[in-house]
């Protein structure tokens, strides 16, 4: 089975690389809707936004919703900014390139419940388009707990937990990445801090996994590798926080992580297998593929090297998850039915393929992430889950899953 894991991961990486080589196609629609689908746009709620200009080059850097924000979370919005007198044509990409993705922060704060550990993103789906004298864009708008693939998520009762921010620098490795444009510093720093929070939470996920393995009498190689994986995640978190601090100089790290109820039901064999499938087999396999693709696209050698290390480590962690699943099923074959029940494809949003200047900085665009996840699920995860659900022979030898 180990050779099968390595073969399928290599196949996924090859397909991802080939899929990313195509040029952007012509817009399907013309006129006021630009490259957006009129049917999709007309079905979505519109909100008004205030856009901020980068004075040195007359370029929009970010927009914030100022009116019309929904009272509850939604999947997508049409966001419109009224035309200012000095503004050029709505379809001038040099003016309206919204790369910072800071849209909707206030609305997200309004939606978040007190004490919730939820992190939001608003990737641009299409636009601009000119509607009723305003320049508009279609954004998805979602909580990232549905989209966590940076490392092994720490799930408690089905919801991902991460630590809140704290003023500290002991979790930040000392790094010297290449300078980035000033307009991109906030979004890239937040991206790496969010990744750091997820990697930090992965330490707890592996600590719980180690307890579960001990509870069920797992062999020493699985327990030892789970402990090593937790240490890997400490290193990943420090690298991510270090990149963020190197970008904006802010000493921010993880605060206390709520681990209450983390073992509720998780020592039950069936629940352990469900969590193993979701957190490890699916989550870490896709995380390894995303990190590898991000490393391939990153232009800064420091960032690329960090992503390559994370990709290699996550590939080993994914292999550990598949080995552990194999061990459980070899001793309790009736749990194969649980694997079949838990084998739901991850949430993959269909987005138009569009180049993103942030890909070069190690932050994959929404379109690239969707493509990586879809290919990874189809060529690596789903076939291996199907094999596991139908039973596999036990193999005790340890072999890492390698990334080419």
Nearest to 144 by CA among 307, 344, 366: 366
At 339, is the pLDDT very low, low, confident or very high (cuts 50, 70, 90)?
confident
Q: How confident is the model at residue 24 (pLDDT cuts 50, 70, 90)?
A: very low
Best CA proximity match to 125, nearest among 200, 88, 74: 74
Quick one: pLDDT at residue 118? 37
Q: Quick check: 111 pLDDT over 60?
A: no
- Are 160 and 117 in contact by the 8 Å Cβ rule? The answer is yes
Name the strand (E) or helix (H) holding 121.
strand 120-121
Instruction: Give the residue-averaged pLDDT of 306-325.
Output: 94
Q: By 3-state DSSP, what share of the chain in percent is helix, strand and coil, each rounded to 5?
A: 50, 15, 35
125-134, 221-230, 263-272, 358-367: which is most confident: 221-230
**What's the rounded mean pLDDT across residues 4-12?**
66
Q: How confident is the model at residue 337 (pLDDT cuts 50, 70, 90)?
A: confident
| CA dist., res. 36 & res. 44, Å (int) | 12
φ, ψ for residue 139, nearest 5 deg: -120, 140
At 37 the pLDDT is: 83
Average pLDDT of the segment spanning 28-39? 68
From residue 324, how far is each of 158, 213, 319, 320, 372 by CA, in Å? Answer: 21, 9, 9, 6, 25
Domains of the chain: 2-22+147-389 (1.10.620), 34-143 (no CATH)
Are the beta carbons of 331 and 273 closer than 8 angstroms?
no
What pairing do the DSSP bridges indicate for beta strands 165-167 and 142-143?
Answer: unpaired
- What does the alpha-carbon distance between residue 289 and residue 369 come to, in Å, rounded to a whole number? 10
The count of residues in the chain is: 404
Q: What is the pLDDT of residue 403?
A: 45
Distance CA 143, CA 163 (A): 16
The model's pLDDT over 160-189, given as tens digits with 9 standing for 90+, comes to: 888 989 999 999 999 999 999 988 898 899
End-to-end CA distance of the chain: 18
**pLDDT band for position 21 (cuts 50, 70, 90):** very low
Between 328 and 20, whose confidence is greater? 328
- Per-residue pLDDT band for 101 (boundaries 50, 70, 90) equals very low
Query: What pLDDT score does 230 carry?
Result: 96
* pLDDT at residue 105, rounded to an integer: 41
Is residue 223 a contact partner of residue 139, using CB atoms and an 8 Å limit? Answer: no
The residue that leads in pLDDT, 151 or 358, is 358
- The pLDDT score that the predictor gives to residue 250 is 94
Q: Tell me the C-alpha distance between 144 and 190, whole Å.
A: 13
Position 322 confidence tier, pLDDT thresholds 50, 70, 90: very high
Lowest mean pLDDT among 253-267, 318-332, 351-365: 351-365
DSSP string, 5-22: HHHHHHHHHHHHHHHTTS
pLDDT at residue number 189:
92
Helices within 249-300 (DSSP H only): 269-275, 283-297
Mean pLDDT value across residues 250-266: 91
> In this predicted structure, what is the pLDDT of residue 257?
93
């Amino acid at each position: 089975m180990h050779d099968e894991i390595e073969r399928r991961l290599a196949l996924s990486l090859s397909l991802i690389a080939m899929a990313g080589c195509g040029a952007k196609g012509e817009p399907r629609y013309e006129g006021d809707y630009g490259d957006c689908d009129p049917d999709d746009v007309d079905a979505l709620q519109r909100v008004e936004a205030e856009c901020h200009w980068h004075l040195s080059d007359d370029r929009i850097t970010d927009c914030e919703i100022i009116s019309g924000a929904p009272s509850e979370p939604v999947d997508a919005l049409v966001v419109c900014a009224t035309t200012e007198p000095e503004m050029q044509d709505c379809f001038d990409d040099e003016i309206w390139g919204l790369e910072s993705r800071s849209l909707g922060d206030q609305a997200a704060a309004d939606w978040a419940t007190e004490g919730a550990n939820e992190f939001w993103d608003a990737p641009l789906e299409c636009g601009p388009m000119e509607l009723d004298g305003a320049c508009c864009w279609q954004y998805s708008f979602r909580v990232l707990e549905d989209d966590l693939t940076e490392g092994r998520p720490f799930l408690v009762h089905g919801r991902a937990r991460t630590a809140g921010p704290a003023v500290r620098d002991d979790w930040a490795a000392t790094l010297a990445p290449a300078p980035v444009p000033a307009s991109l510093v906030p979004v890239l720093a937040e991206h790496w801090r969010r990744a750091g929070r997820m990697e930090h939470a992965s330490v707890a996920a592996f600590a719980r996994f180690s307890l579960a393995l001990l509870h069920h009498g797992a062999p020493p190689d699985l327990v030892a590798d789970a402990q090593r994986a937790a240490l890997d995640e400490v290193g990943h978190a420090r690298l991510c926080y270090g990149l963020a601090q190197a970008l904006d100089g802010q000493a921010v790290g993880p605060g206390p992580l709520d681990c209450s109820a983390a073992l509720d039901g998780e020592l039950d064999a069936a629940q352990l297998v469900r969590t193993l499938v979701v957190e490890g087999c699916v989550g870490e396999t896709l995380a390894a593929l995303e990190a590898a693709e991000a490393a391939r696209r990153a232009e800064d050698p420091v960032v690329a090297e960090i992503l390559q290390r994370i990709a290699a480590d996550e590939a080993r962690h994914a292999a550990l998850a598949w080995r552990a699943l194999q061990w459980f099923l070899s001793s309790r074959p009736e749990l194969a039915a649980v694997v079949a029940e838990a084998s739901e494809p991850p949430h993959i949003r269909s987005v138009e393929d569009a180049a993103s200047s942030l890909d070069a900085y190690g932050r994959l665009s929404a379109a690239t992430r969707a493509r990586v996840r879809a290919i990874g699920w189809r060529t690596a995860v789903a076939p291996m889950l199907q094999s596991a659900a139908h039973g596999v022979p036990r193999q005790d030898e340890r072999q890492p899953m390698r990334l080419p």
